[in-house]
Amino acid sequence: MRAKAHRRIVRFASRTRPHWRCWFVAVLLFAGATILVPRWWCGREGERWFEGDPHTVAALARHVAATVKHGISSDAFTSDSALFRGEWAFGTYQMAALGLLQTCREHPELRDELRPGVENAIAGLLSPAVRAFDAQSWNEDALDSLDGPHGHAAYLGYLNLVLTLDRATFADSRHTALNDRISAALARRFQAAPHQIIETYPDEAYPVDNASGLASLLLHQRLTGADHSAAISGTRECFRTRWRDPRTGLLLQAIDHRSGQPTDRGRASGTALAAYFLAMADPDVARPYFQSLRTHLAGSILGFGYVDEYAAGERGGGDIDSGPLIFGMSPSGTGFTIATSRAFGDRSLYVSLARTAYLMGAPVTRGDERFFITGGPLGNAIMLAMFTAQPVRP
């Protein structure tokens, strides 16, 4: 009886061993597919974006151009703050203009198709309705008070960067006179600022907003031969030294314009956006910021890249600059770092961050347009600008 029982056990084991082996292999294949397939699927277009594939770029550019043609209202954004809604409408037009201009520069064959979108975006930036968020904060219009002393750093700096890039892209730009007037006003304000920083709003000063103004003046100087060097040398040096966090090298988020002392730490959202602006005009100043982002804040989970808002050992919450933090990961910092990854040729980081953008954005194709469902007007404009950031010339 014992012998028969033993033989039955042996026969059962011999029959079940292949069965369990198959299950083991199936589990391994499932785990591998779960890890590798999403990584491959979400990263395949990131490679094409990095290479500047015309078909890939044109699909999103067409959607953004169509969006600004129809117009952006601050009512399209969900916030109880009229200021934030106004900033987001302004930001949509600004990022759309930068993304479309970058696309025109890299793909001359698309210039005729996309230039009307550029003009629509600039018209939106100049419209009284979009200027209102800044005008209400200062009790004066930024363009009507160019001879005055007040900062208007965000509106004038961001607008002037678009106008200067438009001038660099199209020799027959219709905005050269306004570009010259704003450049002169910004240069005068930089030179008069006691601590080299211009206010964004009354008693609020942010280096990232000054980065756009500084970049616009450096580009304007290169294009026109106007000499802004004396006016901007102090601010340029602050970006090199004083406004960098001593431990991480990240850009300080906010500065007291009266004392020149920092009022916030180095953070991803401000650092990444400023590095994108500065890379257009002064790569030597921008590169250390990108390196700090990559060293202290960038990470990856199963090939999906992210950028934390705060460096290790620091705590803080999300805000209007960073967006809602997910275990410390910054939506703004992650998105903006895509731009400098391309600018400085870091394919691996670029593609890993693009995977995350695709995973969270849920891109779809309709006709000859491709866009992110969860992005909305602002998100799609930002993604176009970030994905098409121009590589720094050697």
Under 8 Å between Cβ of 299 and 305:
yes
Residue with the larger pLDDT of the pair 301 and 45: 301
- Nearest-10 Cα torsion for 273, 224, 96, 119: 160
Q: Can you give the pLDDT at residue 46?
A: 81
CA distance 19 to 284: 62
Worst-scoring range by mean pLDDT, 141-155, 157-171, 317-331, 377-391?
A: 317-331
Q: Mind listing the pLDDT tens digit for each residue in 309-343?
A: 999 988 888 888 888 888 899 999 999 999 999 99
Cα→Cα distances 70→158, 313, 324, 375, Å: 22, 46, 29, 17
- DSSP state letters, 57-70: HHHHHHHHHHHHHH
Q: What is the mean pLDDT of residues 252-258?
A: 95
Worst-scoring range by mean pLDDT, 9-18, 119-128, 146-155?
A: 9-18
Worst-scoring range by mean pLDDT, 180-189, 222-231, 359-368, 379-388?
A: 359-368
Judge whether residue 279 has pLDDT over 90. Answer: yes
Q: Mind listing the pLDDT tens digit for each residue in 78-131?
A: 676 888 888 989 999 999 999 999 999 999 999 999 999 999 999 999 999 999
Worst-scoring range by mean pLDDT, 28-32, 119-123, 207-211, 334-338?
A: 28-32
Under 8 Å between Cβ of 309 and 269:
yes
Q: What is the mean pLDDT of the chain?
A: 89
Range list of H helices, the chain? 2-51, 54-70, 82-106, 111-126, 128-138, 153-169, 176-192, 207-224, 229-240, 268-281, 283-296, 331-343, 347-361, 376-387
Judge whether residue 39 has pLDDT over 60. Answer: no
Q: Cα dihedral sign for 361, 338, 166, 138?
A: positive
Q: What are phi and psi of 371, to 5 degrees?
A: -155, 170
Q: What are phi and psi of 259, to 5 degrees?
A: -100, -20
Task: Identify the three-state secondary structure at position 366.
Answer: strand
Judge whether residue 133 has pLDDT over 50. Answer: yes
Under 8 Å between Cβ of 236 and 214:
yes
Length of the chain: 394
The closest alpha carbon to 86, from 145, 153, 157, 154, belongs to 154
Percent of the chain predicted with pLDDT > 70: 87
